Each structure stands twice: as structure tokens, then as C-alpha cells.
């Protein structure tokens, strides 16, 4: 009985191993600083977005979005690293001393401008 079970499970294990080695087929679309109504398919009369319009026409409509940061650089760092925005240490675009914060009631948090070189990114993981 044990040999019959082994004979049946061995091909399943081989197939699972072969499929696990395949790379995923991922299409990642990032439209930086794009508002919901900035796409022609959602009502924009100004921007021309033929490729996104084609996706919508073929049945793929993006109605929910999420940003992991208040502007582009923290959002990109979070997406690339797979971490929450606060864990990357990137909070603003560029250096924090680009404006005179001394006149502000609160001191801004310390900010880094790039992910550390040893940070494992999604691209490296794939």
C-alpha cells in the first residue's frame, strides 16, 4: 500500500517542483501622480491614455487604488521594497532641508533620500 501511495504522490511532487521554478508573469503599471479622473476612460478630456483606455474597453477597469505615501518618492520606495512607507525612512521628495523648517511649529522627521543598497527589492525577489 505504501509503494502504491508513493507511486501516486511522486509525480505530483515532481509537477509541483517544476511549476514552482517558473517565474511569475507580472504586469506592473505605475502611473506616478495620476489622479482618478486624469485617464480618458474615466472622463479626462485633456490627457490621452490610449493603452489604459484599451484595457478598460477590453474589460479591465481599475476602480480602487492605494498609495503608501503622501507623494511620489515614499510611494515608490514602499512599492519597490515591499515595506510600509514609514519603514523605508523616506517621507518626502528630496532632502528635508529644502525649506526653512525652523519657522514651523513642529520639526520634520529625519528623511533619507534613497533605499539602502543592501535592501532586497521586489525585482530581486522575482
Location of C-alpha cell 511549476: 19
User: Is pLDDT at 41 greater than 80 in this prediction?
Assistant: yes
Cα 76 from chain centre: 7
Whole-model pTM: value is: 0.61
pLDDT band at 16 (very low <50, low <70, confident <90, very high): low
Q: Which residues contact 34 (CB under 8 A, 6 or more apart)?
A: none
* Residue 1, pLDDT above cutoff 70: no
74, 92 Cβ separation under 8 angstroms: yes
Q: Is residue 111 within 8 Å of residue 92, measured between CB atoms? A: yes
Alpha-carbon gap, residue 74 to 89, rounded angstroms: 8
Q: Are 92 and 73 in contact (CB under 8 A)?
A: yes
Q: How confident is the model at residue 18 (pLDDT cuts 50, 70, 90)?
A: low
Of residues 45 and 103, more confidence is placed in 45
Amino acid at each position: 500500500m505504501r509503494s502504491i501511495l508513493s507511486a501516486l504522490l511522486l509525480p505530483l511532487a515532481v509537477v509541483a517542483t517544476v511549476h514552482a521554478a517558473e517565474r511569475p508573469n507580472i504586469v506592473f503599471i505605475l502611473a506616478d501622480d495620476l489622479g482618478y479622473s486624469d485617464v480618458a476612460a474615466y472622463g479626462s478630456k485633456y490627457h490621452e491614455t490610449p493603452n489604459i483606455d484599451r484595457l478598460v474597453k477590453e474589460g479591465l477597469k481599475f476602480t480602487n487604488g492605494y498609495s503608501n505615501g503622501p507623494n511620489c518618492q515614499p510611494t515608490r520606495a514602499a512599492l519597490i521594497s515591499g515595506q510600509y512607507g514609514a519603514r523605508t525612512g523616506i517621507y518626502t521628495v528630496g532632502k528635508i532641508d529644502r525649506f526653512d523648517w525652523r519657522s514651523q511649529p513642529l520639526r520634520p522627521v529625519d528623511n533619507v533620500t534613497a533605499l539602502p543598497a543592501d535592501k532586497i527589492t521586489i525585482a530581486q525577489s522575482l
